[in-house]
Amino acid sequence: MLFNSSIFFAFLAISLLLYYGSFKFRALQTWILLGASYVFYGFWDWRFLALILGSTVVDYLVAQRIQDSGDNKARRRWLWVSMAANLGVLSFFKYFNFFATSATDLLLLLGMQPSPMTLEIILPVGISFYTFQTMSYTIDVYRGKMPATRSFRDFALFVAFFPQLVAGPIERASHFIPQIEAKRRLSITQLEEAIYLIVYGYFLKVFLADNLGVQVNRIFEDPTKFSGLELGLGVIAFAGQIYGDFAGYSSIARGVARLFGFDLMVNFRLPYFAIDPSDFWRRWHISLSSWLRDYLYISLGGNRAGKVATLRNLVLTMLLGGLWHGAAWNFVIWGLYHGVLLVAYRLIGWPKKGWDEGWRRWPLWALMTFFTLIGWLIFRATSVDQILYFLAHFSLETSPNTTKIVGFLAIYWTPVLVFEWIQHRRRNLWVIFEWPLVVRAVILGLFVALTIAFGQRDSMEFLYFQF
């Protein structure tokens, strides 16, 4: 059930009716939302409902055992049960074939003849998101940051809440569960914020991402048909596609959650205005980068064990972050690439104090944008060979088609870049609410009009669903 499908709109309308129809009964509202979330997930594949339920039951019980155990060893053992269960499920469904194939390839390289051992495994939608979400809960309970919830219903909703179930943001229990327990209300301003988030989300997804995706697919399907400059434009198009797709989805998820009175964390803060790798990761997929920082980087020792260990922890965290994105070597390389970038900037001490102000931002920004685009090439490429092909063939060489591709990118990128440039200048993601009512309303109307008139009608599935 994609967000940009008519069945989703019907589902959302019915869910809202039932939810607000029982506004006097908070518990019933929670049950309705939970039921709706399972219906939503079951629509993707009903067979995996058992998996998400199983994950929910395990972590619900484990968290209580952690809390109730007086003994630190017992608490740690229970935590390992949660980690093993979640990572075990994730490893099997997502990484089994990857590791099996890689091991086979390695043995072949060493001159052996192993028999291939892959399975026909279907990747459950959203598994990377909800397993990380539940692990953050048990870790937070273990660390004493929050008490274990005694309500299975509330915990189940935290795990399965449909707006963010299949592609994030990866919520924190300490932020979300109190919202379930509290009385929910939707003020007029929150409703307006929800509408804006949803409208802008669809604009990013349907207008920007899906249209650029057409060009991206063409170029990456057969790069030999395109000139050197066009290959570069293809990477720029992908930068737009992945941002529009993922930030668009997050925005819709947050807007829909807000319609039910829930606040989800901000997941993107204008990532293409970053001036260095740390800045980029404070702006891109924030729910994942903060998860990796809080539960992996800090657990590895963070920056507390000396410079070398800090750099090692950075690289390892980013490498695993890359692997999270997918069971393929290009994701691992992408993660490693960003880890190396972080380390490199730290070692040379960039940006120096004062460099992030005035005109000095520009060269820093240009360099970071270049690095980001190389990263996206690694991310999108279908093989290591393709990465090398692109790198070897980038040039300023044009063809008769180049102007068309430039025009195409300009048409779809420009409205987003202009709007987000204004957000950047005002340091306000909701700059639209600073504007007079008429201006705000006209902009909203134009977003809707452009989405309908120029949006890709046979819409592509959200990219991040494959993770």
Cβ proximity of 303 and 356 under 8 Å: no
* Residue 352 dihedral angles phi and psi, to the nearest 5°: -70, 165
Residue from 266, 309, 367, 373 binding another protein (CB under 8 A): 266
Per annotation, catalytic residue among 325, 338, 393, 424: 325
Residue 52 sits at the vertex; the CA angle it makes with 201 and 150, to the nearest 5 degrees, is 100
Q: Is 449 in the site for another protein (CB under 8 A)?
A: yes
Rounded to the nearest whole angstrom, what is the least distance from the CB of residue 171 to another protein in the complex? Answer: 13
Q: Is 294 in the site for another protein (CB under 8 A)?
A: no
Which of 142-150, 239-247, 312-320, 446-454 is the region at the interface with another protein (rule: CB under 8 A)?
Answer: 446-454
Residue 166 three-state SS: coil
Residue in 248, 252, 215 with CA at minimum distance from that of residue 234: 215
Residue from 153, 360, 393, 440 binding another protein (CB under 8 A): 440
Rounded to the nearest whole angstrom, what is the least distance from the CB of residue 369 to another protein in the complex? Answer: 16
Q: Is 356 in the site for another protein (CB under 8 A)?
A: yes
Residue (122 or 438) nearer to another protein, CB: 438
Residue in 465, 460, 451, 449 with CA at minimum distance from that of residue 250: 465
Verify whether residue 325 is a known catalytic residue: yes
The Cα 467–Cα 459 span in angstroms is 19
Q: Is 366 in the site for another protein (CB under 8 A)?
A: no
Q: Is 24 in the site for another protein (CB under 8 A)?
A: no
Q: Is 353 in the site for another protein (CB under 8 A)?
A: no
Residue in 166, 244, 188 with CA at minimum distance from that of residue 3: 166
**The tokens of 344 are what?**
């490199």
The dihedral built from the CA positions of residue 69, 71, 77 and 80, taken in this order, carries a sign that is positive
Residue from 192, 294, 394, 419 binding another protein (CB under 8 A): 192
Q: Is 5 in the site for another protein (CB under 8 A)?
A: no
Q: Is 183 in the site for another protein (CB under 8 A)?
A: yes
Q: Is 363 in the site for another protein (CB under 8 A)?
A: no
Q: Enumerate the H helices of 91-161 as residue ranges.
A: 96-109, 127-142, 152-160
Rounded to the nearest whole angstrom, what is the least distance from the CB of residue 426 to another protein in the complex? Answer: 8
Residue (147 or 178) nearer to another protein, CB: 178
Rounded to the nearest whole angstrom, what is the least distance from the CB of residue 193 to another protein in the complex? Answer: 5
- Give the interface size with another protein as a residue count (CB under 8 A): 52
The Cα 178–Cα 173 span in angstroms is 8
Q: Is 6 in the site for another protein (CB under 8 A)?
A: no
Q: Is 193 in the site for another protein (CB under 8 A)?
A: yes
**The tokens of 211 are what?**
């249209």
Which of 13-21, 125-133, 165-173, 189-197 is the region at the interface with another protein (rule: CB under 8 A)?
Answer: 189-197
Q: Which pairs from 93-99 meet CB under 8 Å and 24+ separation?
A: 93/121, 93/122, 93/123, 93/124, 93/127, 94/123, 94/127, 94/128, 94/327, 95/323, 95/327, 96/121, 97/121, 97/327, 98/327, 98/328
Q: Return the active site residues.
A: 325
Task: Write out the residues near another protein by the rule CB under 8 A.
Answer: 178-179, 182-185, 188-193, 195-196, 211, 261, 263, 266, 269-270, 279, 282-283, 356, 404, 407-408, 411, 423-424, 426-430, 433-434, 437-438, 440-442, 444-446, 448-449, 452-455, 457
